[in-house]
Structure 1
Amino acid sequence: MTSIQEGQTPAAKTGEALDAALATVRANISAFDGSYPDDTTSGGVYLPRPAKGQFPAGANRGWTTSFWPGMLWLGWELTEDEQFRGAATANIASFAERAEKEIDLDTHDLGFLYTLACVAPWRLVSDERGRSAALLAADHLMTRFLEPAGIVQAWGGLDDVTQSGRTIIDSLMNMPLLYWASEQTGEDRYASAARRHTAQLRDHIIRPGGTTFHTFYWDPVTGEPLRGSTQQGYTDDSCWARGQAWGIYGFALNYRYTKDESFLDAARTCADYFLDHLPADGVAYWDLDFTDGDEQPRDSSAAAIAVCGLIELATWLPDGEARAHYRERAAWIRDALTADYSTAGHPESNALLLHGVYDWPSSVGVDEGTLWGDYFYLEALARAVLPDWTLYW
C-alpha cells in the first residue's frame, strides 16, 4: 500500500484540495449509509439512486456505482485511515452478489464496475471475494464480444437489434478488466478480445484530424464497419469532450498492457486535439466544438479524466520533452479544477467537483457534480502526491 509520508508533502494548493476532497468523502460515508448515490448531483447534492423497477432506492444498479468504492480505496491509500478501508470493503458483497446473480449486467461497463469495486481490493489487500467477483464479471463481459467484428457490444441485451454491433469510446476503459483476467487465469482469450476491440476503435472511432466519434456500429454478422454517430455529443460530427478524454486515458491504458505503439499514438492523437481545443482556463466545454464565448456548460468530469489520461500517456513516452509537456498540461488542468471547480469552500455540496455534464442532449445532469468526475478528480490528486501509485485499472 502507498501512503503520504513525511518529506513528500505536495504543493500547498494540491494538499489543501486533497484535504478538502477527503473530508467530503469521509462525510459521505455516513451520509450514503451503505446505499449508492445517483449518477449526478441534483442542485449540487447527491441523493440516493432512485428506485427503478425491481430495484429499491439506493440499490447497486447502473454503471456508476463503483466510483464510490473507488474513492474510498483512494482515501485509504492516501490516509491509511481504517474508516475508508472498512467502508470500501463493505461494498464488495454487493458487487459480488450482482455478479453471482447476474443482476443488471447487460453493459460493457462491467470494467468500470468491477475494476474499482473488486479488482482494487484484490490488488490492495488480496480480497478473494473481490477477485472471484471480478473474474465472473470478466466472463460476462466476454459474452458481449462479437465475432467477426472483434468488438465488445456496448449496451443492451445481445438480442437488442437497436444496439447490435454498437460500441462506444468509453469502452476503452473497460478493457483493463479483461487484461487483468488473463493475468489471473493464464488464459489469453480475455486479453486477445481486448486487443482486437481496441484495434477496431483505433481504426474507426478516431476521425481524420484527431476527433473521435462517441459511438460506432459494425455489422454483427459480417463484421463490416458501418458508421459513427453520437449519443451524448452535440452532433454526430462534433467532438464530445468526455469521449475524447476517455480516448486519451483508454488508449494509454491499453498500451500499458499490450505495448502496441499504435495505441500510444492513438492516445497522443486524442490528447493533442483535446489540449488544442480547451478554453482559456483549461476546463473543457461539454463538447469540444465550443470554446470561450459560447454560452454552453463546461464538463469538469472530462477535465478530470483527461488529467489522469495525460499523466498515463506521459508515463510511456520515450521522449523527455514530450513527457514534460503532457505532465505540465495535466497539472494546469488539475490546478484549474482545484481553483474554480472543486467544492472546497462549498459545504452545501457533497460532491468533489461542480460543473459537470452527464448527458446534455437529454438534459440529464447538466451543470452538476458527477460520480465519475469526483473519482477521477481524486485519482488525479492521488497521482500528484503519490507518484508511485499503483493503478487499479
Structure 2
Amino acid sequence: MTSTPLPARTLETERAIARVLATVRRNVGSFGAAYPDDTTTDGARYPLRPAANGFAEGANRGWTTSFWPGMQWIAWELTGEDVFRDAASAHAADFGRRVHDGEDLDTHDLGFLYSLACVAPSRLLGDSAARAAALDAAGHLMRRFLPSAGIVQAWGDLADAAQRGRTIIDSLMNMPLLTWAARETGDPLFAEAVARHTDQLRRHILRPDGSTFHTFYWDAETGEPLRGATEQGAFDDSCWARGQAWGIYGFALNHRATGDPALLAASRTCAEYFLAHLPADGVPYWDLVYTDGSDAPRDSSAGAIAVCGLYELAALDPAHAARWREAADRILASLAEDYAPAQPADSDAVLLHSVYDLPKDVGIDEGTLWGDYFYLEALMRAARPDWRPYW
C-alpha cells in the first residue's frame, strides 16, 4: 500500500526537528551536568557559564539555565530516548538543590527557571521531588508580590530602592508557575497575584498604539503607577522586539489561566503591532523601530517566542485562528530556512542571529539559550498541535 505523502511544511518541520535533536544530543554529551552560558561566542559555541560571585564555572545561576533542560524534556517527548530524560532529570534534581540552598533566588525569573526545570518533570513523570522544588520556588516568587501596587517585582533584593516597585514585560512568562501552584495547592493567593499582576501590565505596560514598554515603575507604598522605560530596547518610547513577543505569548498564556477576556485582547493587540512592524522575511530587528533597509541586528529569538505566542493565540482565539497560525507558520519557516545552522555540527546553538542586550553590548548576533528553547518549542507546536506546553 502506498502511503499518502505528508504536506511539504510538515516534512520541513520534521527535518528541522531532526537537526535540532542532533545538536541537543551532542550538547548533552558535551556539557554533562554543567550549564552553558547565556549566549554563544562568535555564533558557534556555548562556553560554560563563567564562574562568578562564589559560583563555580558551569554552575546553576542566572535566569537562563532552565532553557537547557527544557529542550531536553521536549526532545524526550519527541523521541522517548532515555539520554534526554536522564539528563533533564539530573538538572531537575540540581534545581531542587538550588531552591533548597537559597542560591540566586532574588528574581521574578523563578517562573522561567522552575516551570521548565521542575514543573515539566512533575507533570511528565510524576516526579515528587521536582514538584516540591517548584512549589518552593513559587513560594519564593510570591514574596516578590507587592500588594499595594499589585505587581511582582522583577529584579533585585526587595529592599533595593533602585528596583523597588519595578516590573518588566518578561514577567508575564513567570506567572504560569504561580498558576500551576494554585492548581496544585488550592491556595487562592497564587491566582489572585496572577490576576492582579497581569491586569496591571495590561493597563500600564501596553501602550495605546499596541506597542509595549519593556519596564514600568510603581510606587511600592502607594501603588501609584509612575512611568514606563526600557532596559534593553533602543529608546524608552521604542518597542523592544523581544518584549513585544513576550506580550503576545504572555498575555495569551495568562488569559488561558484566568479567563480574563481583556488579556486575550491584549495578546491580539501585541500580535497585530508585532506583525505590522516585521521586515519582509518575517524575522524582527532587535527593536521594532527598525525596518527593512536598516543595518540593525535581527533578534531571531524574538521571532521564535512570537511564533509560540501566535500558536497559543490561535488555540484561544478560534475566530481569528487561521490568521495567527498562518503568521506563525511564515515566521517559523523563515527561521528554519535562514536563521538555523545549515548542519548541526556548525554550532552548539540551534538558532542563530539573536540579540541579548544591545545597549550593554552583550550577546549581539549570537545563539541564545532562550532562542534555542523557543525555536524547539515552536517546532514542537507546529508538528504536534495537541502538545501541552510546560507553561
Task: Please indicate, yes or no, whether the TM-score normalized by the shorter chain is above 0.5.
Answer: yes
Q: What is aligned with 1:40?
A: 39
C-alpha distance in 1, partners of 2:216/2:239? 14
Q: How many angstroms does 1:13 deviate by?
A: 1.3
Q: Secondary structure at the match of 2:228?
A: strand
From the superposition, tell whether residues 8 and 172 of structure 1 become closer, same or farther in structure 2 (CA, over 3 Å): farther
Partner of 1:248: 248
Question: Does the C-alpha gap of structure 1 residues 118 and 8 become closer, same or farther in structure 2, counting only changes over 3 Å?
Answer: farther
In 1, the alpha carbon distance for the partners of 2:162 and 2:14 equals: 47
Which letter maps to 2:183?
A: E
Counterpart of 2:114 in structure 1 is: 114
Code of the residue aligned with 1:337 in structure 2: it is: L
Structure 2 counterpart SS, 1:91: helix
TM-superposed CA distance for 1:346, in Å, is: 5.7
Aligned partner of residue 52 in structure 1, secondary structure: coil
Q: CA deviation at 1:83?
A: 0.9
3-state SS of paired residue (1:291)? coil
Aligned-pair distance for 1:307? 0.1
Residue deviations 1:300-359, cap 9 Å, x none?
00000000000101111131xx10000000000000000000113262311000000000
Q: Which residue of 2 aligns with 1:365?
A: 363
Residue in 1 that maps onto 2:209: 209
Equivalent runs, 1:63-212 vs 2, <5 Å = 63-212=63-212
Counterpart contact for 1:353–1:369, Cα < 8 Å: yes
Counterpart of 1:326 in structure 2 is: 324
2:378 to 357, 377, 380: 380
Does the aligned pair in 2 maintain the 1:285–1:297 contact within 8 Å?
yes
The 1-side partners of 2:390 and 2:342 are apart by 26
Q: Deviations over 1:38-75 (max 9, x none)?
A: 00101121000000021010000000000000000000
Q: Counterpart in 2 of 1:51? A: 51
Residue 351 of structure 1 contacts residue 370 of structure 1 at CA under 8 Å; is this kept in 2?
Answer: yes
* Structure 1 match to 2:18: 19
* SS of the residue 2:360 aligns to: coil
61-70 vs 79-88, which moves further = 79-88
For the 8 Å contact 1:8–1:385, the answer to whether it is kept is no
Report the Cα distance in structure 1 between the residues aligned to 2:213 and 2:277, rounded to whole angstroms.
Answer: 16
Distance 2:226 2:242 in 1: 23
Q: Decide which moves more: 344-353 or 45-54.
A: 344-353
Which position in structure 1 is the counterpart of 2:270? 270
Unaligned runs of at least 5 residues, structure 2: none
8 Å contact from structure 2 (residues 32, 87) kept in 1: no
Cα distance in 2 between the residues matched to 1:273 and 1:57:
41
Query: Aligned partners of 2:100 and 2:195: how far apart in 1?
Result: 27
Q: What is the rounded CA distance, in whole Å, between the counterparts of 2:215 and 2:260 in structure 1?
A: 23
What letter is aligned with 1:104?
A: D
- Counterpart code for 1:108: H
| Aligned partners of 1:17 and 1:344 also within 8 Å | no
Q: SS of the counterpart of 2:103?
A: coil
* Number of equivalent positions: 386
- The 3-state SS of whatever aligns with 1:306 is helix
Correspondence for 1:392: 390
User: Deviation at 1:8?
Assistant: 7.8
The 3 A distance-change label for structure 1 pair 7 and 85 is farther
SS at structure 1 position matched to 2:318: coil
Give the C-alpha shift of residue 82 in structure 1.
1.1
2:344–2:350 Cα contact (<8 Å) kept:
no
Q: Name the SS of the counterpart of 1:141 in structure 2.
A: helix
- Distance across 2 between alignment mates of 1:42 and 1:153: 31
Specify the alignment match of 1:3 in structure 2.
Answer: none
1-side partners of 2:135 and 2:344: how far apart? 40
Q: Structure 1 residue 12: deviation in Å?
A: 1.8
Distance in 2, matches of 1:383 and 1:170, equals 21
Runs of 4+ in structure 1 deviating by more than 6 angstroms, as ranges, are 6-10
Task: Please list the CA deviations of residues 222-271 of structure 1 after superposition, one character each: whole Å capped at 9, or x if unmatched.
Answer: 00000000000000000000000000000000011111000000000000
- 1:228 partner SS: strand
RMSD: 1.2
Partner in structure 1 of residue 303 of structure 2: 303
Structure 2 distance, partners of 1:121, 1:331, is: 29
Contact 2:146 2:152 in 1 (8 A): yes
- Indicate conservation of the 8 Å contact 1:21/1:344, yes or no: no
CA change 1:158–1:387 in 2 (3 A) is: same
Unaligned runs of 5+ in 1: 1-5
Q: Distance in 2 between matches of 1:53 and 1:168?
A: 25
Task: Give yes or no for contact 1:69–1:88 (8 Å, CA) kept in 2.
Answer: yes
Q: What's the CA shift string for 1:257-296, capped at 9, x where partnerless?
A: 1110000000000000000000000000000000111110
2 CA distance for matches of 1:7 and 1:193? 49
Partners of 2:101 and 2:227 lie apart in 1 by 35
Kindly provide the amino acid, as one letter, of the partner of residue 309 in structure 1.
G
- TM-score, with length taken from structure 1: 0.97
Pick which of 339-348 and 169-178 moved more.
Answer: 339-348
Corresponding residue number in structure 2 for 1:290: 290
- Answering whether residue 30 of structure 2 is matched by residue 31 of structure 1, we say yes
